[in-house]
Amino acid sequence: MNKYSLQIALAYMSVVIGGGFASGNEVLQFFTGYGLAGIAGSVVAAVLFAFLGMQIARISSVMQAGSHKQVLYILFGEKAGFVVDVILSFFLYGVGVVMLAGAGSTLLQQFGLAPLFGSVLMTVLVVATLCLNVKGIVNLISAVMPFLLVMVVSITVYSIYTSTGTQAELTQVAEDIPVITFLGAEVPNWALSGLLYASFNIAVGFPMLAVIGGLTKQPKAAS
């Protein structure tokens, strides 16, 4: 894996984790609610992340795309691509609002600060990041990923070694968690839940991944 491949991978993972954990309940509802079978669902999502991410980055690199719209129009055509772009715009707006609200809620729960303070602070950080050029943004979000990875692994290890519940108790707790709903009904199985989770996150990461892939002239490195 060369420098470009690693940078794209880290940036992609950062975007997916940022969007996929927007409210903190996603993993519980998409996977944990299915008990041990949720692990299989997470594998389905991981495989889709890898495959779709590689294809999007490769196509963008071949096209030398400067915008996600170029990739959308190639994949869906100009008219359908425009519709998909509008849907993505509303979707990303919703994710952004949830993440800003989540920042306020986190500082309230952890430090007792007013929710408005956390939301404003996150907004300022987002605006400051957007003032950078594309390469600067990619460098920044790819640099954040190792920190996120260390935090996730640390919390996982800590949770495993400090848990006092039995396997049966933990499984029962997991199965009591409400699973994700789709079109007003609960998603019936872990496989479909993993598919929906991957599609949700690909929608979040697609615009940035398309731009990142277009930064390199090496399609093999991008994929």
* Among 67-76, 114-123, 132-141, 182-191, the least confident range: 182-191
Q: What is the pTM of this model?
A: 0.77
When pLDDT is cut at 50, 70 and 90, the band that residue 48 belongs to is very high
pLDDT of residue 219: 63
- Rounded mean pLDDT, 19-24: 59
- Write the single-letter amino acid at 119: S
**What burial class does residue 168 get, using C-beta atoms within 10 Å of its C-beta: 0-12 exposed, 13-18 middle, 19+ buried?**
exposed
Give 23-39 pLDDT, tens digit per residue. 567 787 888 888 788 88
Give 122-175 pLDDT, tens digit per residue. 899 989 988 888 788 888 888 888 888 888 889 888 888 887 777 777 777 777
Between CA 223 and CA 220 the distance in angstroms is: 5
| Chain-centre distance for alpha carbon 90 | 16
Nearest in space to 29 (alpha carbons), one of 203, 186, 195: 186
Q: Tell me what the pLDDT averaged over the chain comes to.
A: 82
